[in-house]
Amino acid sequence: MENNRKGLSLKYRPQSFDEVIGQDVMVQIIKNAIKMDRIPNAYLLTGIRGVGKTTTARIIAKAINCKNSETLEKKCEGFCHCEAITNSNHIDVLEMDAASKTGIDDIRELIDSAKYYPTSAKYKVFIIDEVHMLSKQAFNGLLKTLEEPPPHLKFILATTEVKKIPLTIISRCQRFDLRRIKLEEMISFLKKISEKEKAKINEKALMLIAKASEGSVRDGLSILDQAISTFNVLGEEITEISVRTMLGIADRSRIIDLVRFVIDGDKTKALADAQEIFDLGADSKLVLQEMLEVIYLISRSKSFGKIENDLTVSESESDLIFKLSKDIDFSYISMIWQFILKGIEELNFVPNHFLSFQMLIMRLVHLKDLPSPEQVIEEALNSDTQLIAESAEKKDDFNEIKPGTIINKQISAKTQIKSVIQEKA
């Protein structure tokens, strides 16, 4: 039997501007420009993966070609170009993946087709995804057409790495930076989707999924889809524990305990706790990232007091973090932060991640035995002062040698000076 089921990220892909979440300013600017018929020659959409760059490009293509003026506000219901653009099979809207078509020949082919008027739509639209992957020659070949395209042609460029795009290209486009979705917006969105899917999931699980998505809507929907497929099939409620197990994320309270043992210098408890966390299926890299977050929260708590009104931190966690922050100084916090960052880098070079993880924990535990930067500077200054004093004393003794003293050339000057000093003593 054929399986026509779509993943949640495709099933709930926005089809109009009012369905786009977290990009209100960009949406309003583009809508106003289209209403006023002030459409730029080229758009440049930038942002991390999964925030809606390609989706926005398709919506723009539909909005400037749709016969229904209400498309700006809601999905077009009539027979129009919109359905074909949504299905990526409109003859006048070409989507090109620059990751697989990077050369000048591909751009020449694109420019050659730009000479012809659109077959049925008002505008011919070229959507170039991952445009930063184009070669230098391809970018140069695109310059002239991008600056002065035919009146019937519009470009929409999308990229995750805008720094790799030449400034000459960027300056010819109207640029929009799509931001990461806020945690509250992501939780609200995922809750609506889970209700539509009739999935049983609690608030803490939704918050954990939203946090794991790192502001990417596609990532959030993919994780939610995975959780529903894993647990709701059996009729179970999706809980925070089940999501943590699925993603290999350790419980925050366990991470706080691990950081506490490290700060206390208790290597036995720290290593035992690390072993238990690993045995529960947690990923070493994710555990270190969670430790970084706890270190950040400790710094924040030390600077501004107890953490309040933060959805990601529970009351009990806030109390534990505040207690830890009271008896620790910033220099030590910074050292732990730097060591963990270095440990995350080392994981890329060590096949056995857990061995590297344990070694890092042992190094962190013994950090407290190392002198602080202030102590190192103080000892260095004291050492310099002592050397200067000794040097001055020896100089005075040398100056007191009588001019008539016969120096034996066969004996070193250093030995003779030493003898004079001893006689003086």
Tens-place pLDDT, residues 257-295: 899 999 888 889 999 998 888 887 888 888 899 999 999
Q: What is the mean pLDDT of the chain?
A: 83
What Å distances lie between residue 243 and 13, 35, 155, 236, CA to CA? 23, 44, 41, 12
Put residue 264 in one of left, alpha, beta given phi > 0 → left and psi -120 to 50 → alpha.
alpha
Question: What's the whole-number mean pLDDT along residues 374-396?
Answer: 65
Regarding whether 326 and 235 lie in a shared domain, the answer is no
* Position 85 in a domain: yes
Sequence-ordered list of residues with C-beta below 8 angstroms from that of 225, at least 6 positions apart, any chain: 7, 8, 9
Question: What's the whole-number mean pLDDT along residues 138-145?
Answer: 90
Regarding whether 55 and 127 lie in a shared domain, the answer is yes
| pLDDT value for 1 | 42
Query: 231 is in which domain, residue-wise?
Result: 183-247
Regarding whether 269 and 364 lie in a shared domain, the answer is yes
Confidence of residue 394 (pLDDT cuts 50, 70, 90): low
Regarding whether 343 and 319 lie in a shared domain, the answer is yes
| pLDDT value for 131 | 94
* Position 79 in a domain: yes
Pull the structure tokens for residue 280.
């529960």
| pLDDT value for 2 | 47
Task: Tell me which of 21-35, 65-79, 142-156, 298-312 is least confident.
Answer: 65-79
Regarding whether 117 and 231 lie in a shared domain, the answer is no
Last residue of a domain, one of 369, 395, 415: 369
Question: Which of 26, 51, 56, 46 has its CA nearest to residue 160?
Answer: 46
Regarding whether 187 and 79 lie in a shared domain, the answer is no
Decide if pLDDT at 411 tops 60.
no
Task: Tell me which of 4-8, 339-343, 375-379 is least confident.
Answer: 375-379
Which pTM does this prediction carry? 0.74
Regarding whether 257 and 243 lie in a shared domain, the answer is no
Nearest-angstrom CA–CA distance, 238 and 243: 7
The pairing of beta strand 153-159 with beta strand 42-46: parallel
Decide if pLDDT at 348 tops 90.
no
* Position 121 in a domain: yes
User: What does the DSSP 8-state code read for residue 78?
Assistant: S
